[in-house]
């Protein structure tokens, strides 16, 4: 049951603003992989000078991308847009094997900012192929991470599975050697259902040694679950192409709480707050804390905000930078 809005809210010392309880989820925002990817671009700019090219958005956040552009980064879609003698960074989502192979063929200076947890999935895919298994990959078609992971193995050795319904359509027999992997930024609950369906249909399927959904994705979803039931509205800061941010909206929706995805505070419509006494606030793994504070300030323009941090987990993960940027 969502928290009811008080019928006779207290007004503080003549202030016309109504009170608003703001539950801020923790953990939220930047994860270790995003921190590392952004620092890689910044270190590359310091070491090699501008411009440094970046293949695809380094992370899915317009504010971050624009900030790096202002420092001298140039974002491109493909390597053929990058001069041979210019440094290039590959995004945190990972790339197919053909991309570094092409960079090496052209003798380009490149830095791979693929999140180490995504790289772990890439290595698992290689090992499963070496064992003669066909991989059923759980993910969203067209997402850069999915394209990158599926590009680690020979064509025809991996099949994308997006939904439980897809499992019923798979054309494999009980004698086929199968394994599964998943995108790191999926819904924990949805992925569990798909895995259950895969294991029921193909009892011989081999699971990865550890869950592929990353700690940050799991933690942010769990944090939303902890606050959503107490809220009338949940605001998620993230980009519309950010998989992990979209999943946070879904988590709140499924708990019966209205949720809205916003990129910046200026997207908030004050009408959303009508009849609302408690708002939940979180941010996807690519959204900086500065954007969270912007939202708090914006809400404070309209309401007397009482902030409360609700912590469901502590995060202390740090990933090392590539050696070429630290030597």
User: Active-site residues: which are they?
Assistant: 145
Beta strand residue intervals within the chain, DSSP E: 18-26, 52-55, 73-76, 88-90, 110-112, 134-138, 158-161, 178-182, 233-237, 258-262, 278-283, 303-311
From residue 147, how far is each of 56, 138, 153 by CA, in Å? Answer: 12, 12, 11
Q: What are phi and psi of 310, to 5 degrees?
A: -110, 110
Please give the Cα distance from 24 to 234 (Å, whole number). 10
Tell me the sheet residues that pair with 304: 19
Q: What are phi and psi of 54, to 5 degrees?
A: -130, 120
Structure-block tokens of residue 181: 């992997």
C-alpha closest to that of 251 among 227, 232, 278: 227
Q: Sheet containing 303-311: which strands, arranged edge to edge? A: 258-262, 233-237, 278-283, 18-26, 303-311
* Residue 111 buriedness (CB in 10 A; 0-12 / 13-18 / 19+): buried
Structure-block tokens of residue 5: 């809005």
């Amino acid at each position: 049951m969502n928290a009811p809005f008080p019928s006779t809210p207290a007004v503080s010392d003549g202030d016309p603003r109504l009170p608003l309880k703001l539950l801020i989820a923790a953990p939220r925002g930047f994860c270790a992989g995003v921190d590392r990817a952004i620092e890689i671009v910044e270190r590359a700019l310091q070491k090699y000078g501008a411009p440094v090219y970046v293949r695809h958005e380094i992370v899915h956040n317009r504010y971050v991308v624009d900030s790096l552009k202002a420092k001298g980064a140039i974002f491109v879609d493909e390597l053929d847009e990058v001069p041979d003698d210019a440094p290039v960074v590959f995004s945190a989502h990972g790339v197919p094997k053909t991309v570094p192979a092409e960079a090496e063929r052209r003798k380009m200076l490149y830095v791979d900012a693929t999140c180490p947890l995504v790289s772990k999935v890439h290595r698992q895919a290689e090992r499963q192929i070496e064992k003669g298994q066909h991989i059923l990959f759980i993910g969203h078609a067209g997402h850069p991470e999915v394209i990158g992971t599926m590009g680690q193995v020979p064509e025809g050795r991996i099949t994308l599975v997006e939904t439980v319904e897809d499992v019923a359509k798979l054309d494999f027999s009980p004698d086929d050697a199968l394994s599964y992997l998943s995108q790191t930024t999926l819904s924990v609950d949805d992925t569990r259902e798909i895995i259950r369906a895969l294991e029921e249909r193909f009892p011989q399927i081999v699971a990865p040694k550890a869950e592929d959904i990353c700690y940050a994705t799991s933690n942010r979803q769990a944090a939303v679950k902890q606050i959503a039931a107490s809220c009338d509205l949940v605001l998620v800061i993230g980009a519309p192409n950010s998989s992990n941010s979209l999943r946070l909206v879904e988590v709140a929706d499924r708990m019966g709480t209205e949720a809205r995805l916003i990129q910046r505070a200026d997207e908030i419509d004050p009408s959303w707050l009508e009849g609302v006494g408690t708002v939940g606030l979180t941010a996807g793994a690519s959204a900086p804390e500065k954007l969270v504070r912007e939202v708090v300030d914006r809400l404070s323009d309209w309401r007397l905000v009482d902030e409360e941090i609700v912590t469901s987990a502590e995060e202390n993960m740090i990933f090392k930078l590539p050696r070429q940027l630290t030597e």
